[in-house]
A and B are shown apart, each in its own frame.
Chain A
Amino acid sequence: MNPQAILQIENVSFSHPVPNGTPVPALHGISLTLREDEFTVLLGANGSGKSTLLRLMNALLLPDSGKVLVNGLDTREPQNLGKIRSLIGMVFQSPEEQIIATSVEEDIAFGPENLGLPSPEIRRRVEGVLHIVGLESERSRPPHLLSAGQMQRLALAGALAMQPRLMLFDEPTTMIDPAGRRMLMEQIHALKSRGVTVVLITHHMDEAAQADRVIVLRGGRLELDGTPRQIFTSAGLDKYGLELPPAEVFEKALRPLIPGLPPHIYTLEMMLEELRGIHPPPGVKTVAPHRSEIPIQSETIIRVEGLGFTYMKDTPMAHRALENTSLQVGQGEAHGLIGATGSGKTTLLQHLNGLLKPQEGIVRVGAFDLNDPGIGVRQLCSLAGLIFQNPEVQFFEQYVGDEIAYGAKQLKLAGNLRERVREAMDSVGLDFETYKDRFTWTLSGGEKRRVALASILSLDPEILLLDEPTAGLDPLTRRAIIRHLQDLHGRGKTLVLSSHRMGDIARVTDHTTVMQNGTSILAGTTGKVFSRGETLLAAGLEPPLSAQAAVILRTNGWPLPEGITCQEELISALRACLGGKP
């Protein structure tokens, strides 16, 4: 046995058992060896078998055939289980379900307690880990009162306290803001430098670019295995549901215009560093602003002023969520809401369809005054449709068709229900005949997201409120959803969407409001907002690469207009500068 190998997977196949049915094959003949202090990223489309492979690694699942050896111990031997679990820490996607104890420190202690360690040693580890993840001040709080970001930290802490030699992360960055992702990536690099082996599942290509090794699964088979450079230069990434890291997409687009740029830049930091050395050639032209900075005059459809809101008001658990928040959205506008987790985006969105009533300040949506106690979600839901974060966990009908028809049935809307459902499904690219009789729980992640979207569209609301519409989707599905949103916007719908993906905000929205600690701190056209790099960083966010690049190039003397947010705008502005056609 190779003494350097912490994990060996030998020709492993696995099928998910189905009660009274044929098992669903998930993995076929996977062989893989992980060496010590190696940082590996596992990529693949939704449903390609990544999570299954991860669970085979720490014996949560056992292979149907083949062998998994952890530090030389076979996972199929029951007496090895305790030892294997003490060697491997795991962080799952949804933090709230992996928190077992009823206070922060007790939860961190859960793993070490299971290992039967002496009390002083457990306390020492809990102290150390609390410090690492920065939860010292929350130590005795019950987990359900933590913010999403804090829960994610706690989930990480629980695994770290076991001092594992191998850490497995199952899409931990799905639900968190850019600052949270940075924290997690820093932790991963710190683990690696302490000699811990790390395996990370992610849909973020820029995270994959930072790995030592990238493994790509497709349909349960290991298709690619190599360094990020090898993987991202190989042909046909699309067929694996992958895309190039944003920095490299950017580099490829920019290089014809800026020949000084070296090839194969994977990370944002490298890209920005390179750009700092790029100065304009003599004779570049000044170009007019790419898009009009004068807001298009449209009627205000959503007006929020001085909104304040406290959850569990008048109880000892009261939690202030919004403070003096304002929001203005014009008819037909696509408005982005950005901010760190816990900054109040969801609370604000839930005010806009009447789920929450304003405690302070005013909320007006269309002709409705939400301060009027007689007006609530029932009146508003056919005007403003809200699509929740992870909407698929709330499906309550068995069949796709029924799920989509639910709202129209509840409201007893006029017209042909069948046609209504068909139309809603068409507009998100789901074929009516194929999907109407499918069971909702058999759909893939992307299909579920489409059904959730259609179930709101069937009410034909003028305003769509979307809470993290692309979280947890693989790159291809995400792009498809973004296209549907752009399409809906093009058809005159007003959109208000929150997202941690600044690139998505840049692509879809024309205006953006920034939230920080429950208050709206900045609002304006998306271009203007993204040019305020420092304000965004302070709010736990970061502007998209193109916006940052535009700022750097401008300081270097490129006569670029303000308000550039996405790649297409930057490229056409650069072309214009260099004298080509815009």
Chain B
Amino acid sequence: MTDFEFLSKINIGQYLPGTSPLHRLDPRAKIIIFTVFILVLTFTRSLQGLVLGLVIILAGLLLARIPLRFALRGLAAPLPFLIFLALLQLFLTPAANPADVLWQWRFLQITGSGVMAAVTLLVRFTALILTIGLATSITSSSDLLVGMNALLRPLTRIGLPAEDAVMMVQVALRFLPLLAVTAERTAKAQASRGADWSPVKGNLVQQVKRIAPLIVPLFISSLNKAERMALAMDARAYGSHRPRGSMRELLFTWKDAAAIFLALLLSAVVSIV
């Protein structure tokens, strides 16, 4: 394993081509289904509901034949932060009643509701991250953009720049891996000239110190890249014709309708139990 593979750590926007029923859904259906799921997982309070949601997402991953390890990759980066939050929940949730206290040492105490809150938090975020992982691995970014474009088009009638908004998302998605590649090159260049890039374990301050020298060159090169990309977009006539054409024509079938119906049904179950 090398220390410099930044690209492999970016999970968002990494589409895994496939032919599963989930892959073949209409992009609009995918967007609606995943939006609903994300909302439900965010607002459901009961742990049972969240566990059920997690199971549904795992089933989805299985159905789409996405390796679990790949989907879980996105969890690696926020994990320390999540554990920190979970620990806060664990120790700082006040006891609902005296019987709730499970363990106490001076001012630190763990309560039953604290344990519940911590577990709920972890399950919720795992489910959310897996949902996003599943969504991005079965939805190519062009699918996402075509779908968004179709769903947002009515907004242009009331004067909102929906097309430009979708284009912004597209450029951002394209930029992310580009940024990772640039960071990787800069880090390699610095390491080749003696900067210390040996793996630092744990210590957050050291980690930040290590990243800091990357930021200025990354900023400068990103601005340059953005400028050149804008030129390239101009050169290819962006904005010269409204509305833009589209290579893809979407086809909404009964399968998509059924999938949305099923998703709504499952969401309802998740939020009720």
Could you mark each residue 160-196 of chain B with 1 if its beta carbon is under 8 Å from any beta carbon of chain A, else 0? Answer: 0000000000110110011001000110111111111
How far is A100 from B234 in the complex, measured between Cα atoms in Å?
11
Minimum distance in angstroms from A61 CB to a CB of chain B: 9
Q: Report the nearest A residue to B167, measured CB to CB.
A: A100
**Is A222 an interface residue, CB under 8 A from the partner?**
no
Q: Is the CB of A85 within 8 A of B189?
A: no
Of A92, A103, A114, A313, chain B has the most CB atoms within 10 Å of the CB of A114
Contact A58:B235 (CB < 8 A) given known A102-B174, A455-B193: yes
Q: Chain A residues near B173 (CB, 8 Å)?
A: 102
> Is A116 touching B196 in the complex (CB atoms < 8 A)?
no
Q: How far apart are B178's CB and chain A's nearest CB, in angstroms?
A: 6
Q: How far is the CB of A381 from chain B (nearest CB, A)?
A: 5
A116 to B213, CA, bound (A): 44
Contact A142 B15 (CB under 8 A): yes
**Contact B191 A381, beta carbon cutoff 8 Å:** yes
Which residues of chain A come closer than 8 Å to B234, judged between CB atoms? 60, 85
What's the minimum C-beta distance from B162 to chain A, rounded to whole angstroms?
15
Known: A96-B178, A101-B142, A102-B170. A385 touches B192 (CB 8 A): yes
Give the nearest-CB partner of A455 in chain B. Answer: B193
Q: Are A86 and B240 in contact (CB under 8 A)?
A: yes
Chain B CB within 8 A of A553 CB: no
Query: Which residues does chain A contribute within 8 Å of B246, judged by CB atoms?
Result: 113, 119, 122
A565 to chain B, nearest CB (A): 30
> Which of A60, A106, A314, A377 is in CB contact (< 8 Å) with B235?
A60
Q: Are A82 and B5 in contact (CB-based, < 8 A)? A: no
Per-residue B-contact encoding for A109-128, CB less than 8 Å = 1, 0 else = 11111111111001100100
CA distance A126 to B141 in the complex (A): 18
How far, in whole Å, are A410 and B193 apart by their CA atoms in the complex? 8
Interface size on A, residues (CB 8 A): 78
Say whether A114 contacts B189, CB under 8 Å: no
Any chain A CB within 8 A of the CB of B272? no
Contact of B247 among A113, A313, A391 (CB under 8 A): A113
Complexed CA–CA distance, A312 and B7 (Å): 8
Contact of B140 among A140, A162, A316, A388 (CB under 8 A): A140
Would you give the 0/1 interface string for B237-261, flagging 1 where the beta carbon is closer than 8 Å to chain A?
A: 1111111111111000000000000
Given known A-B contacts A388-B185, A407-B193, A315 and B178 have beta carbons under 8 A apart: no
Decide: A378 near B193, CB < 8 A? Known: A82-B237, A114-B241, A355-B4: no
Contact across chains for B67 and A116 when beta carbons are under 8 A apart: no
In the complex, chain A residues whose CB is within 8 Å of the CB of B189 = 388, 391, 394, 396
Q: What's the nearest-Cβ distance from chain B to residue A160, in Å? A: 11
| A106 and B7 form a contact (CB under 8 A) | no
Whether A116 touches B188, Cβ cut-off 8 Å, given contacts A102-B173, A103-B142, A407-B194, is: no
Is residue B97 within 8 Å, beta carbon to beta carbon, of the partner chain? no
Taking the complex as formed, is B231 at the interface, i.e. its CB lies under 8 A from any CB of chain A?
A: yes
Please provide the chain A residues from 133 to 159 with a CB less than 8 Å away from any CB of chain B in the complex: 140, 142-144, 158-159
Within 8 A of A (CB), among B193-237: 193-198, 213, 216-217, 221, 225, 228-229, 231-237
Which residues of chain B have C-beta atoms less than 8 A from A90's C-beta?
A: 232, 235-236
Which of B14, B194, B213 has the most chain A CB atoms inside 10 A of its CB?
Answer: B194
Q: What is the CA–CA distance of A86 and B245 in the complex, to the nearest angstrom? A: 14
Residues of chain A lying within 8 A (CB to CB) of residue B104: none
| Also in contact, A101 and B194, with CB within 8 A (given A82-B240, A113-B247) | no
Knowing A114-B237, A142-B177, A394-B217 touch, does A100 contact B67 (C-beta < 8 A)?
A: no
Interface check A399, CB cutoff 8 A: no
Residues 155-174 of A, flagged 1 when their CB comes within 8 A of B and 0 if not, give 00011001000000000000
Say if the beta carbon of B265 comes within 8 Å of chain A. Answer: no
Contacts of A82 in B (CB 8 A): 237, 240-241
B241 with A115: CB separation less than 8 A? yes
A105 at the interface (CB under 8 A from B): yes
Name the residue on B nearest A86 (C-beta). Answer: B237
B242 A100 Cβ-Cβ under 8 A: no
Knowing A94-B228, A123-B247, A407-B194 are in contact, say whether A101-B237 is a contact too (CB < 8 A).
no
B90 to chain A, nearest CB (A): 33
Would B5 and A311 count as touching, CB distance under 8 A?
yes
Q: Which chain A residues border B216 with CB–CB below 8 Å?
A: 396
A124 to B70, CA, bound (A): 35
Cross-chain contact of B16 among A97, A113, A114, A316 (Cβ < 8 A): A316
**Chain B, 4-28, contact with A by CB distance < 8 Å: what is the 0/1 string?**
1101100001111100000000000
B76 touches A (CB below 8 Å) = no
A514 is an interface residue with CB less than 8 A from chain B: no
Contacting B at CB under 8 A, from A490-511, are none
What CA separation (Å) do A317 and B177 show in the bound complex?
A: 13
How far is B7's CA from A316's CA once the two chains are assembled, in angstroms?
Answer: 12
| Residue A393 lies at the interface, judged by CB distance under 8 Å to chain B | yes
Q: Decide if B235 touches A119 in the complex (CB within 8 Å).
A: no
Task: Choose one: A114, A316, A376, A456; the contact of B238 (CB below 8 Å).
Answer: A114
Q: In the complex, which residue of chain B has the Cβ closest to the Cβ of A112?
A: B245
Q: How far is the CA of A566 from the CA of B145 in the complex (A)?
A: 54
Contact, CB under 8 Å: A106 / B247: yes
Question: What chain B residues lie within 8 Å of A517 (beta carbons)?
Answer: none
Kindly report which residue of chain A lies nearest to residue B7, judged by CB atoms.
A312
The closest CB in chain A to the CB of B16 belongs to A316
| Residues of B with C-beta under 8 A to A394 | 185-186, 189-190, 217
Cβ contacts under 8 Å, B174 to chain A: 99-102, 143
Is A52 interfacial (CB 8 A cutoff)?
A: no
Q: Are A103 and B141 in contact (CB under 8 A)?
A: yes
Q: A382 in the interface, Cβ–Cβ < 8 Å?
A: yes
Q: Does B1 contact A (CB under 8 A)?
A: yes
Q: A394-B186, A410-B193 are in contact. Are A101 and B228 (CB under 8 A)?
A: no
A559 CB to nearest B CB, Å: 48
* A411 adjacent to chain B (CB < 8 Å): yes
Question: A427 to nearest B CB, angstroms?
Answer: 17
The interface residues of chain A lying within 8 Å CB-to-CB of B13 are: 102
CB-defined contacts of B16 to chain A, threshold 8 Å: 316
Residue among B141, B173, B189, B242 having the largest count of chain A Cβ atoms under 10 Å: B189
Q: Is the CB of A378 within 8 A of B191?
A: yes
Known: A92-B232, A355-B2. 20 other contacts (CB 8 A): A60-B234, A82-B241, A83-B240, A89-B235, A89-B236, A100-B232, A106-B142, A110-B233, A110-B238, A114-B236, A114-B240, A115-B240, A144-B181, A355-B188, A377-B192, A378-B194, A394-B217, A396-B189, A456-B193, A459-B193
Binding site for B on A (CB under 8 A): 55, 58, 60, 81-83, 85-86, 88-90, 92, 94, 96-103, 105-106, 109-119, 122-123, 126, 140, 142-144, 158-159, 162, 311-317, 350, 353, 355-357, 376-378, 381-382, 385-386, 388, 391, 393-396, 406-411, 455-456, 459
Q: Show 9 A/B contacts (Cβ-Cβ < 8 Å), sorted by A.
A: A100-B229, A111-B237, A114-B236, A114-B241, A378-B191, A378-B197, A381-B193, A385-B192, A395-B217
| Those 9 A-B pairs whose CB atoms lie nearest each other, nearest first | A82-B240, A410-B194, A116-B241, A98-B232, A85-B237, A102-B141, A407-B193, A109-B247, A394-B189
B interface residues (Cβ-Cβ under 8 A, vs A): 1-2, 4-5, 7-8, 13-17, 67, 69-70, 73, 140-142, 145, 170-171, 173-174, 177-178, 181, 185-186, 188-198, 213, 216-217, 221, 225, 228-229, 231-249
